[in-house]
Amino acid sequence: MALINRFHQKKNGKYDVVVRNVSLNKDALLLLENGLPVEAEIKIYDASKITDQQRKKIFALLNDIYDYTGQPQEDLRHVFQSYLQIMNDYKEISLSDCSKKIAGELIELILAWIFMHNIPLSYKTSDLMKEDNNFLYHATVNRKCVICGKPGSDLAHLNTVGAGRNRTEINHYGNKVLALCRAHHSEQHRIGIQSFNDKYHLHDSWIDVDEKLNKMLRGE
């Protein structure tokens, strides 16, 4: 995304700005190289509004529900939006201009429903959601691999438990875990945690062990 990081106010009340990270085609580059200006339209995004990434997550989740149940995406979207409106006493929600907060709540609601009803997530959706804390936690406590969505996954530790220690007799507080299927868990140990996190972009994704996860790890 292009970013404005410097500005200067002019006498007419408008601004000269420096815009970084802009894609330019050959025609635009030719004009600039010859000292000619390039006309551009700049749209300022409201930082408090729903992001494109949030919209992508919502529609990816709805598409996975559709693939499993056959219920059309638009019907599903209206059901979840209406439920959130009633639950939190919101006015009509629009995905074109609702707040980031409401969009986040909608994603969390859809995720909770998906895991409650054991809806399988596609690899593409799991990859899209890997930086979403709600998804990571729901997937882990429901033992769905955070990479491929496979059910019945292992609870993999970020920091390995020492050899010879009985995992059912120790507390796991202070460690971090994720749900990984047997194939991805084996790969984690085979290539090492640093390479594994690099490959799947999981450096900031590991979940702190809370009381619920500690009990699961201890087999309680």
3-state secondary structure the chain: CCEEEEEEECCCCCEEEEEECCCCCHHHHHHHHCCCCCCCCCCCCCCCECCHHHHHHHHHHHHHHHHHHCCCHHHHHHHHHHHHHHHHCCCCCCCCCCEHHHHHHHHHHHHHHHHHCCCCCCHHHHHHCCCCHHHHHHHHHCCCCCCCCCCCCEEEECCCCCCCCCCCCCCCCCCEEEEECHHHHHHHHHHCHHHHHHHHCCCCCCEECCHHHHHHHCCC
Same domain, 127 and 219: yes
List pLDDT tens digits, range 151-169.
999 999 998 775 556 667 6
Same domain, 153 and 207: yes
pLDDT in the model for residue 71: 95
pLDDT in the model for residue 159: 85
Same domain, 111 and 128: no
Same domain, 185 and 199: yes
Last residue of a domain, one of 119, 140, 155: 119
pLDDT in the model for residue 131: 85
pLDDT in the model for residue 46: 62
Same domain, 182 and 215: yes
**Domain-embedded: residue 99:** yes
Low-confidence ranges of the chain (pLDDT < 70): 1, 45-46, 162-167, 169
Number of domains in the chain: 3
List pLDDT tens digits, range 114-130.
999 999 999 899 989 98
Same domain, 129 and 114: no
**Domain-embedded: residue 179:** yes
pLDDT in the model for residue 165: 62
Same domain, 136 and 200: yes
Domain extent at residue 219: 123-220
pLDDT in the model for residue 201: 92
pTM value? 0.70
